[in-house]
């Protein structure tokens, strides 16, 4: 297969050009060529994989979205009957059942290929902290793959799996995606169950998805997500964040970017150049607005992860081994985890207070845009560089990532380009909790702008034009009367967080009437394509969460429908039922409500 995307494999299966048996045999044979990359801790044998293939006979391909799709699993996530090591053989155990999310994927028809290498106990962002060997970059073996989900990313990039599961506490689902030219989805915490996953920081962890395209990432998320009562941190998804809201979100949208003085590339001129080229390309696109944000509060949050008491959670995961057999733990990992037993309870509360204060500042900036956009990493290091200064460089890798889970945000890493050394570069979109489909939809648009191959292959990524979707974070509302800025009912928008976007007119297809009753006095708009005129209106942007209560307060005969603006857009706005204009005064010739109010004061 030239392409390993879900669609390509399904098309090959349906046209009988390929069978799962043939694909798996090819993958296992191909895996032999990459043994020096240290991808696998346990690559399943053909005998171990065969039961999953046989189970497909009872599953019609049309009903199972991942039918015959191969995937890899980070070895801190359980697969029934296969040891889970978390990168430490002394810790290993063999689970009787698969992790909830893994079983969801298998139920959808996916075929597990193996358990992948990782930074031990998921502690690291680089992929070198493993007794199973440093996992090497899929483009250049002298460079790191990114961690801790190192093997999961390299397996997909080298065509040994269509997708993989990783985990993400500090950026482990995003940094490896950047370094291997993949989409890396870090879902909202709790959207994917973490039961059956060895925790790094249980209150912060989430499973992550590595995929070749945003469309694949959405399909995988849809199959894997689901509330799990056995996971204390599992959460129900919100209606506006479900799969049907994934598509292509085209401009207009606003992205927050870091002020130039706060950017850090740690001496990597090629990554710096690649980032600025991305910004230049986005600035050239009509209706993509880039606004600067102050990164300092996000950086202060990021530092809490390793400099604060949350390191105690890492200690909990490996506590027994640290106390009984500390030499079994990789030295640099042990040096990070062992002090986690020292923080006192009051230190955690103090850090939480600080986090809450910083979170308010961060979210205030996030609320100004559809998403934040920043480099996924400021620099890619060689393995030698990383081994020489493992703590310093690992910290540098987390400069743009460590804050995300502490703030309970969602994120997606998107490949954009390559450096002169042919090393991948990418950006990350960051959004609010349960903004996953919105981020995926913006990322899907960016895929059409920044076209890259599938992973480390030479296969060009196929651009699939998905249905266009709008932001589910806000709704633009057209008002024409008492809700106009400064008028008696405008508070109903302002107090709900509404912002005035622009002043414009409707198309020439409306008539306006001053309705009976009041105060407050109100107009009614009636659509009339033969005898209408342009009417002055305002467009207000309202948080979607406040839209329902706003609409509920609208009295008859007024209602909400779609209004045609002079520029051709159809937006949500006020209309009037036909019976409402009985006995009303027509004021169309005045061109708007403010003009009518002036006549009353004369």
Annotated catalytic residue, options 130, 167, 172, 223? 172
The C-alpha atoms of residue 475 and residue 465 are separated, in whole angstroms, by 24
Selected catalytic residue, list 148, 152, 153, 410:
148
Q: Measured between alpha carbons, how far apart are the two ends of the chain, in Å?
A: 78
Identify whether 519 is preceded by a cis peptide bond (ω within 30 of 0): yes
Provide the 8-state DSSP code for 252: S
The active-site residue, picked from 3, 74, 115, 167, is 74
Give 508's DSSP letter.
S
The rounded distance, in Å, linking the Cα atoms of 545 and 81 is 45
Whether the upstream peptide bond of residue 36 has omega within 30° of 0, thus cis, is no
Bridge pairing between strands 70-74 and 424-431? unpaired
d(CA 410, CA 39): 27
Three-state DSSP string of 454-479:
CCCCCCECCCCCCCECCCCCEEEEEE
Contact 544, 498 (CB under 8 A): no
Stretch (H or E) spanning 558: strand 558-564
Token pair 């005035």 in the structure block, residue: 500
In whole angstroms, give the CA distance from residue 346 to residue 386. 35
172 in catalytic set? yes
553-568 as b/e: b if 16+ CB within 10 A: eeeebbeeeebbbeee
Contact present, 8 and 42 (Cβ < 8 Å): no
Phi, psi of 495 (to 5 degrees): -70, -15
**Residue 148 is among the residues annotated as catalytic for this protein:** yes
Could you give the 3-state DSSP secondary structure of residue 205? coil
Tell me the C-alpha distance between 531 and 488, whole Å.
30
Alpha-carbon span 386 to 384, nearest angstrom: 5
**Going by DSSP bridges, is the β-strand pair 410-418/183-186 parallel, antiparallel, or unpaired?**
antiparallel
Write the CB contacts of 427 (distance below 8 Å, at least 6 apart in sequence): 275, 278, 373, 374, 375, 376, 413, 414, 416, 446
- Name the nearest CA neighbour of 19 among 73, 51, 72, 56: 56
Both tokens assigned to 285: 């696109």
DSSP state of 61: G
- The set of catalytic residues is 74, 148, 172
């Amino acid at each position: 297969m030239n392409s390993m995307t879900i669609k390509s494999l399904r098309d090959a299966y349906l046209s009988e050009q390929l069978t799962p048996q043939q694909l798996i045999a090819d993958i296992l044979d191909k895996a032999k060529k990459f043994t020096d990359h240290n991808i696998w801790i346990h690559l399943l044998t053909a005998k171990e994989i065969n039961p999953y293939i046989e189970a497909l006979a009872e599953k019609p391909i049309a009903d199972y979205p991942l039918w015959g799709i191969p995937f890899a699993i980070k070895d801190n996530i359980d697969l029934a009957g296969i040891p889970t090591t978390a990168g430490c053989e002394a810790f290993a155990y063999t689970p009787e059942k698969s992790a909830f999310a893994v079983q969801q994927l298998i139920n959808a028809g996916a075929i597990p290929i193996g358990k992948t290498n990782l930074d031990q106990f998921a502690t690291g962002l680089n992929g070198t902290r493993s007794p199973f060997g440093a996992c090497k970059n899929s483009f250049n073996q002298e460079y790191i793959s990114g961690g801790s989900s190192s093997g999961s990313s390299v397996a997909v990039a080298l065509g040994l799996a269509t997708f993989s599961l990783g985990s993400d506490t500090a950026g482990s689902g995003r940094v490896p995606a950047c370094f291997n030219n993949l989409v890396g989805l870090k879902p909202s915490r709790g959207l994917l169950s973490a039961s059956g996953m060895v925790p790094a920081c249980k209150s912060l962890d989430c499973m992550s998805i590595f995929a070749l395209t945003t469309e694949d990432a959405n399909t995988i998320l849809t199959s894997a997500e689901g509330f799990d009562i056995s996971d204390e941190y599992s959460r129900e998804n919100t209606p506006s964040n479900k799969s049907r809201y994934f598509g292509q979100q085209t401009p207009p949208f606003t992205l927050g970017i870091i002020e130039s003085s706060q950017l850090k590339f740690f001496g990597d001129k090629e990554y710096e150049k690649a980032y600025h080229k991305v910004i230049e390309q986005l600035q050239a696109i009509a209706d993509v607005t880039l606004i600067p944000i102050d990164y300092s509060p996000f950086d202060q949050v990021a530092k809490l992860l390793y400099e604060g008491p949350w390191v105690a959670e890492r200690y909990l995961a490996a506590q027994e081994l640290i106390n009984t057999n500390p030499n079994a733990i990789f030295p640099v990992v042990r040096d990070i985890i062992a002090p986690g037993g020292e923080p006192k309870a009051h230190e955690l509360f103090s850090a939480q207070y600080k986090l809450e204060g910083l979170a308010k500042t961060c979210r205030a900036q996030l609320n100004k845009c559809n998403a934040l956009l920043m480099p996924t990493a400021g620099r890619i290091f060689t393995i030698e560089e990383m081994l020489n200064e493992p703590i310093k460089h690992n910290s540098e890798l987390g400069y743009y990532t460590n804050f995300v889970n502490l703030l309970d945000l969602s994120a997606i890493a998107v490949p954009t380009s390559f450096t002169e050394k042919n090393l991948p570069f990418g950006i990350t979109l960051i959004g609010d909790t349960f903004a996953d489909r919105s981020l995926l939809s913006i990322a899907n648009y960016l895929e059409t702008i920044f076209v890259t191959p599938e992973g480390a292959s030479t296969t060009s990524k196929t651009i699939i034009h998905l249905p266009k979707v709008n932001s589910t974070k806000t709704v633009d509302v057209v008002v024409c009367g008492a809700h106009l800025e400064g008028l008696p009912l405008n508070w109903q928008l302002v107090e709900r967080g509404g912002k005035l976007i622009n002043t414009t007119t409707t198309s020439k297809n409306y008539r306006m009437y001053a309705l009976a009753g009041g105060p407050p006095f109100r107009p009614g708009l009636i659509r009339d394509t033969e005898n209408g005129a342009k009417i002055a209106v305002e467009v207000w942007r309202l948080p979607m969460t406040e839209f329902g209560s706003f609409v509920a307060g609208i009295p008859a005969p007024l209602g909400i429908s779609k209004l045609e603006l002079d520029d051709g857009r159809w937006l949500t706005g006020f209309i009037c039922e036909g019976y409402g204009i009985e006995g009303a005064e027509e004021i169309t010739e005045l061109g708007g409500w403010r003009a009518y109010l002036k006549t009353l004061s004369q």
